[in-house]
Amino acid sequence: KDKILEVNDLHVSFKTYNGEVQAVRSVSFDVKKGETVAIVGESGCGKSVTSQSIMRLIPEPPGWIKSGEVLFDGKDLTKVSEKEMEGIRGKDIAMIFQDPMTSLNPTMTVGKQIMEGLVKHQNMGKAQAKERALEMLRLVGIPSPERRINQYPHQFSGGMRQRAMIAIALACAPQLLIADEPTTALDVTIQAQILDLMNDLKERLGTSIILITHDLGVVADVADRVVVMYAGKVIESGTVEEIFHRPRHPYTWGLMGSMPRLDLTRDKELSPITGTPPDLLSPPKGCPFAARCKHAMKVCQREMPETTQVRGSGSHKVNCWLEHPMAPAVEPPAEVVG
């Protein structure tokens, strides 16, 4: 399949009073047309910073994209002008967030907010934009759209607001939707409905999705591929099947082992592994997980493991010295292999 997005060797930092925080360090991954890629990891691992960098929404200063490429449709978004970026945002790439109130305008009706993008990006007239807005409200499952279109965000429930935000995001039929913890604040039933909706829209409109989440249950439900981040780096990536059934990185083993299996509790933060991630003011020279890893060897402290393709796999990649031919054979703990 064709790639819609390719992130290559991306580095993003923030200036603080204590020095430079290296929030994203050499992140590479791609997204193909019509595919959902989940980026998972604990808070502070760089997943949100990565997605904001794609949209060029990093607050500059104190943040800045140090190096790397974000190729969208072959164009490097780190290099385009702010004006061109404004044309891309909302039209070709749209974003939804955990809290719809941060992106909905409280002083404008929901209908106007859907129509705004259509008028701006697609040169639609008012009547046509209104038709399309009604259609979008229907598509995301908002009842009585004719009445709802004239209401303000505060007149919507939490789940309805999330739907409204998705309607705004998808009105211009973007090629890529970035969803940052889109369902974290919602209760389990509504969460499932919103995820179904995203899946459905992906099928119908062919939108590619980047889903940022700490919730592995959500990932299993909707993603095609998974990118696992730790301390600003991608440490493992592969298909859902590969990551859930044959994970190769000790950090991923910890994540999988901590996943609630039988109950459907979805609000647990990922922090299964004892210890804390390294300080990104002075990240370690070697493997960022070494201080918490049961299997750490001398080489792990000394040198960063390279990205290795897992033997016998199609797209499964891992950054761990255990993949080296000279490393001792270490098997994942029993509770992880399913």
Give the residue with the Cβ less far from Mg ion, 41 or 286. 41
Which residue from 33, 5, 39 is spatially nearest to 222, judged by alpha carbons?
A: 39
Asked if 183 is part of the footprint of Mg ion (rule: CB under 5 A), the reply reads no
Which residues, listed in sequence order, are joined to residue 12 by a DSSP beta bridge? 24, 65
Q: Cβ of residue 287: shortest distance to ligand SF4, in angstroms?
A: 3
C-alpha 97/C-alpha 181 separation (Å) is 6
The DSSP bridge partners found for residue 177 are 94, 209
In the structure encoding, which two tokens stand for residue 257, read together?
């082992």
Minimum CB separation from ligand SF4 for residue 201, in Å?
Answer: 37
Please identify, using beta-carbon distances, which residue of 171 and 234 lies nearer to ligand SF4. Answer: 234
Nearer to Mg ion, 181 or 242 (CB): 181
**Beta-sheet pairing, 317-318 with 308-309:** antiparallel
Whether the Cβ atoms of residue 163 and residue 153 lie closer than 8 Å to each other: no
Q: Among Mg ion, ligand SF4, none, what does residue 48 contact (CB within 5–8 Å per kind)?
A: Mg ion
Site string for Mg ion, 25-54 (x = CB under 5 A): -----------------------x------
With binding defined as CB under 6 A, does residue 293 bind ligand SF4? yes
Task: Pick one of Mg ion, ligand SF4, none as the site partner of residue 179 (Cβ within 5 to 8 A by kind).
Answer: none
Minimum CB distance to Mg ion, residue 43 (Å)? 6
* Three-state SS at 134: helix
**C-alpha dihedral over 85, 87, 92, 93, to 10 degrees?**
50
Q: Which of 119, 190, 259, 296 touches ligand SF4 (CB under 6 A)?
A: 296
Q: Which residue, 142 or 198, is less far from Mg ion as judged by CB? A: 198
* Partner interacting with residue 290 (select from ligand SF4, Mg ion, none; CB below 5-8 Å by kind): ligand SF4
Q: Among residues 27 and 300, whose Cβ is nearest to ligand SF4?
A: 300
Binding window for ligand SF4 (CB under 6 A); candidates: 50-58, 95-103, 184-192, 317-325: 317-325
Nearer Cβ to ligand SF4, position 194 or 322?
A: 322
Per DSSP, which regions of 134-175 are E strands? none
SS3 178: strand
Distance CA 240, CA 48 (A): 20
Q: Which residue lies nearer to ligand SF4 by CB, 63 or 254?
A: 254
Q: Quick check: 230 binds ligand SF4 (CB under 6 A)?
A: no
Q: Smallest distance, Å, CB 87 to ligand SF4?
A: 42
By CB under 6 A, name the one of 295, 307, 313, 332 that touches ligand SF4: 295
Contacts 24+ apart (CB under 8 A), 286-294: 287/319, 287/320, 287/321, 288/230, 288/231, 288/232, 288/233, 288/235, 289/230, 289/231, 289/235, 289/249, 289/250, 289/251, 292/251, 293/250, 293/251, 294/250
**If we measure between CA atoms, which residue out of 235, 240, 231 comes closest to residue 250?**
235
| Cα 195 to Cα 219: distance, rounded to the nearest angstrom | 10
Q: Which of residues 78-107 bind Mg ion (CB under 5 A)?
A: none
Does 305 bind ligand SF4 (CB under 6 A)? Our answer is yes
Residue 293 binding: pick among ligand SF4, Mg ion, none (C-beta 5-8 Å cut-off by kind): ligand SF4
Under rule CB under 6 A, which residues in 238-277 are in contact with ligand SF4?
A: 249-250
Contacts (Cβ under 8 Å, ≥6 apart) of 231: 25, 45, 46, 277, 278, 280, 283, 288, 289
**CB atoms < 10 A from the CB of 34, how many?**
17
Smaller CB distance to Mg ion: residue 48 or 237? 48
- Where on the chain is the footprint of ligand SF4 (CB under 6 A)? 249-250, 287, 289-290, 293, 295-297, 300, 305, 320-322
- Where on the chain is the footprint of Mg ion (CB under 5 A)? 48
